[in-house]
Amino acid sequence: MPASSLTFEQARHLVETHATALRPAATETVALAGAASRILAEPLLADRDFPPFPRATRDGFALRAADVVHPPTTLRVIGEIKAGIAPAELNFHLASGQAVSIMTGAPLPSGADAVVMVEYTEVEYTEPAADEVKVLRSVAVGENYVPTGAEALRGAVLLHPGARLDAAAIACAASVGKPTLRVFRRPRIAVLSTGDELVDVHSLPGPTQIRNSNLHSLAAQISAAGAEPVLLPIAPDEPARLRELIEQGLQADLLLLTGGVSVGKYDLVEQVLAELQASFLFTSVQIQPGRPAVFGQARGRYFFGLPGNPVSTMVTFELFGRPMVEALCGMAPRKLVFPRARLKSEVRTRTGLTRFLPASLTGEFDDAQVELVHWQGSGDMAAIVRANCYLVVPPDRELLSAGEWVPILLR
């Protein structure tokens, strides 16, 4: 088994390449009300022109722009148009010198080519109803209304397969009359924690044991990514039972293992995977935390071996596991982008590794500030609870100065 240690960028791009080649096959139809966060498996088409009529975008008066070139100009008001007006009530044509009171969302009458906002008018009453309007400023042709079909023409693709159905996508589907949507089925992601030191969450750990938190943190991350976690029993540091559970995990769409991927005497995961004729795409990544991360294929399935320390497990899933899970969900590939924040206090570290250090992002609006959370290493779960992001330190930087804009990875 050739060992392969990659830089962070190399490892991420390799995972993205393999994720792009994945094609989820199964789909299902779900009600629109239950489609949030699912991945669309069909194109969403406009069922009519959007808007289906020239739609006013401001309360005001529909008019001919040529009539108000030299304001102030007084026009005769011949009616009112509100949103949802019956078509039969629009059977008139606006002539020169005339205006119509119009509400936001209402259709422009025939003959009008602009809307002047009500703020730039003075209404003159000669009877109980408005009879004339004084327009105080000129308007351009097309101002304050959206022409028919300007947003989308009938039959246009509004959403492509692979789109995650967020609130905007759900609203779009509702607007084209889709009470149900065809989506990709959620893939099954197996999670296998290894190590004699682990006990189930409901158990009382012995003096040298810890509860299996990685199983549940990964289950939460998998669910947030849109997949279904399959939680396997704890694998002991014993080859036969470990192999049995790995084989069980490889029946899922993706297998995530935690622990047992370092170089200790009882780190048996890579050994057992090699016995299963696994191909290893990388066996180490030049990052902290998470350096001994493993990525490969066995029996037609991809797997990740993630370090066992809780912070390492969470970081490596976000960096490498998530794009594979999202691809299996049917989601279109997306690049990893690090937003930036101003560093509160200087950070010194050693060069050579890309570091993802627990940090706290504070401030508001355009005053985002970040500082490291005090932590005791990648097993410090109390620190990761206090953090809401990771400070990303490039491998060639020994010092990040206070006040510098630095990259972060949001949690």
For the chain, domains (ranges, CATH) are: 5-26+185-329 (3.40.980.10), 28-46+161-184 (no CATH), 55-146 (2.170.190.11), 340-410 (2.40.340.10)
Nearest to 356 by CA among 323, 324, 384: 384
State residue 166's pLDDT score.
97
What is the rounded average pLDDT of the residues 124-146? 86
State residue 2's pLDDT score.
45
State residue 1's pLDDT score.
43
Cβ proximity of 62 and 100 under 8 Å: yes
Q: Please list the residues that pair with 347 across neighbouring strands.
A: 400
State residue 54's pLDDT score.
97
How confident is residue 125, by pLDDT bands cut at 50, 70 and 90? low
Q: Is the pLDDT of residue 4 over 90?
A: no
Cβ proximity of 70 and 102 under 8 Å: no
Which tokens sit at 176? 């084209």
Which tokens sit at 189? 């992601």
261-301 per-position pLDDT tens digit: 765 555 788 889 999 999 999 999 999 999 999 999 999 99
State residue 124's pLDDT score.
74
Q: Which residues of 372-384 are buried (b: 16+ CB within 10 A; e: fewer)?
A: bbebeebebbebb
Stated pTM of the model: 0.89
